[in-house]
Amino acid sequence: MLSQNREQAKVELLKERLKSATDDTNKVSLLYSISFEYKTIDPELGIKYGYESLELAKKLNWQEGIAKSYNSIGSNLYSIGELGDALGYFEKSLELNKQKKDKKEISKNLSNIGSIYYNLSNYSEALKYYQKALRISIEIGEKEGEADNNGNIGNIYSDLTNYNSALKYYNKALKLYEKTDNRRGIATILGNIGTAYMDSGQYDKALKKFEKALKLWELFGNKFGVAINLGNIANTYNYLLDYKLAMTYYEKALDINQEIGNKFGSAAIMGNLGGLYYHLTQDTTIRRLKESNSNVQLDKSYNLEKSIYFSEKAIEIASEIGSKDMLREFYGYLEKAYALKKNFKKAYIYQRKWIELRDSIFSIQKTKEIAKLEAVKQSQINEKEIKLRDLELIRKSNEQYVLILGFGGGAIMLLLVFFERRKSEKLLLNILPAKIAKRLKKNEKRIADRFENTAIIFLDIVGFTSYSKDTDPVKVVAVLNEIFTRFDSLTKEYGLEKIKTIGDCYMAAAGLPEPHPHPILSTAEFALKAQKLMQDYTTSDGYKLHFRIGIDAGPVVAGVIGERKFSYDLWGDAVNTASRMESTGIANEIQVTENFAKSLSEHSIICIERGEIEVKGKGVIKTYLLKDNQNQNR
């Protein structure tokens, strides 16, 4: 590491100039510039300078200075993980910049806000802000902003495990940074490319990128960047089962994170070390390392104590910063470590803590998984829309050829037009019900209908979040595709309309967009068939999945929302209640409302009273469980 790095030297130069500055706009500029530079060196100090800048700018009533001060404070708060407060400052800065119509600063604000949503796993919102920022940067010819936002969009695709798209955006960003000689940008993108390679299992390529990025961060003396890339290199060696090198890099990363006060980084590295040392207590790992003549310490007791030490240290910091995801993972390490040590009392304590946290953050994880899967779905819809537009252009072009070529050639072209229209219609039917697609083709602008006699069903996969977390993304998508394809076949068999999938939840309805003679009976039969079909469902890798099903019936409003990205959806009390029936239901059971159960009284389907349960937004209500009448008595 250089004794004095470039970033620190720049800060010192600015501070030297600050000494002779008077209380004017120039001093404000110096203060917010110092504040901004500190975001990767010492964010706490950066916040202090940001507030000084803001106070003076307000005193001078200098709107540009106020806006930039807000932005610099937000950037430092973002660096220490105070996302809510950071978002507030970015939005204040954006409002002022909109008033001044400063497009360059607006683009920066939009990008920063996008990063907040990205870190909150709200991918659709993040993508929206990044794309707005990217459009403005291209419009005004601001290359660095264009590069930043290409990199940001790449991060979203990387999180969605679409590594080819991620690398496409990363490489766009890299070329732009190289053109502008932005070495900090180059270092950042190299690290991101390395992460995409690591997550996709291309470890050799990942190491090369991380090592290049590390050299640049060391050249700048940027300790945040150095620590991140040391940790990434350690993770890669951990994946490669080279535990000795992984330990070396983890320890280097930990030293730097502790030096700069990066608690999040420190907790993550300690937790990784706790997990690594636990792996070294396993007989299979020890046997393999002995066979390869590894120079790693293989004493089981020693490694067990190290695992406990690092995991407990990680828990202390994770508790301090309030990271529930980290805590749950570290509790899991300690539960297993103390069980191996035969300290079952402590193992039980950590097991209980793990369970409590698992339950409290389940909905958060569910939201994240839904956000990811919805973003994938949205990108697929975008691709379909592009294809539809292309096919429409082809159709128009072909019709023009018909007029030119005359009758003989025209007949051939008419056939081409016919087939292209069929393709276009098929794509549209993948998005919307047939009846709704026809109405759209007739240029009906607002499609909204009320249906009095409908039944709504939600089918959710229990435990899919934990399964998808540790499973190859390709397998995850394959499992979902297999399950939902089965449900698609059942909707056709029983006359239901598939409405949408929300993450690992499948929604369908009977009685719309066309009336159904027996919507309640058909939905009940559909549910029982789905329950039977998915009974004892096990994935190809041996993971058993369970299902919750919820149903209600009643009037709903249905319609198409959006002008470009069409979506057919339902609204009404019955929709909300059906969703609640699923979420409060029992694994492998079909929970229905009293209203739905009474509607089945004339049919030979059995409804067993479950009892009264608390339902959000409804209070205490009586619910029933549907049963197959071939196997149950009333």
Domain boundaries, the chain: 448-627
Fold of 448-627: Alpha-Beta Plaits (3.30.70)
Does residue 555 have a cis bond before it (omega within 30 degrees)?
no
Q: Is 581:458 a contact under the CB 8 Å cutoff? A: yes
Region 457-475: mean pLDDT is 79
How confident is residue 412, by pLDDT bands cut at 50, 70 and 90?
very low
Sign of the CA dihedral with 535 first, then 540, 542, and 545 last: negative
- The pLDDT of residue 390: 47
pLDDT tens-digit series, residues 62-80: 999 999 999 999 988 887 7
- The pLDDT of residue 432: 63
pLDDT tens-digit series, residues 207-260: 999 999 999 988 888 888 899 999 999 999 988 888 999 999 999 999 998 888
- The pLDDT of residue 213: 92
As a whole number of angstroms, the distance between CA 512 and CA 609 comes to 29
Is the per-residue pLDDT at 368 higher than 50?
A: no
Least confident range of 31-40, 396-405, 544-553, 565-574: 396-405
Distances from the Cα of 33 to the Cαs of 11, 82, 89, 96, 621, in angstroms?
Answer: 8, 20, 16, 18, 59
How confident is residue 8, by pLDDT bands cut at 50, 70 and 90?
low
As a whole number of angstroms, the distance between CA 151 and CA 154 comes to 5
Write out the two tokens for 373: 């899967």
Write out the two tokens for 42: 């010492």
Least confident range of 224-228, 376-380, 552-556, 626-630: 376-380
Distances from the Cα of 16 to the Cαs of 49, 137, 605, in angstroms?
Answer: 14, 33, 83
pLDDT tens-digit series, residues 580-625: 888 888 888 899 998 898 888 777 788 888 888 888 777 788 899 9
Q: How many CA atoms lie within 13 A of 281 on its CB side?
A: 23
As a whole number of angstroms, the distance between CA 304 and CA 334 comes to 10
406 against 510, higher pLDDT: 510
Distances from the Cα of 347 to the Cαs of 337, 523, 582, in angstroms?
Answer: 8, 46, 33
Least Cα distance to 432 among 379, 381, 375 occurs for 381
- The pLDDT of residue 156: 86
375 against 346, higher pLDDT: 346
What is the pTM for the complete model shown?
0.50
**pLDDT above 90 coverage of the chain, percent:** 21
- The pLDDT of residue 566: 63
Q: Is 385:565 a contact under the CB 8 Å cutoff? A: yes
3-class SS of residue 342: coil
Is the per-residue pLDDT at 456 higher than 90?
A: yes
- The pLDDT of residue 231: 92
How confident is residue 147, by pLDDT bands cut at 50, 70 and 90?
very high
Is the per-residue pLDDT at 353 higher than 70?
A: yes
Rounded to the nearest 10 degrees, how much is the dihedral formed by the CA atoms of 596, 600, 601, 602?
150
As a whole number of angstroms, the distance between CA 558 and CA 72 comes to 46
Q: Is 125:144 a contact under the CB 8 Å cutoff? A: no
Measure the N-to-C terminal CA separation of the chain; round to a whole number of Å.
77
Least Cα distance to 314 among 259, 257, 369 occurs for 257
Write out the two tokens for 457: 């069903």
As a whole number of angstroms, the distance between CA 179 and CA 184 comes to 13
DSSP 538: B
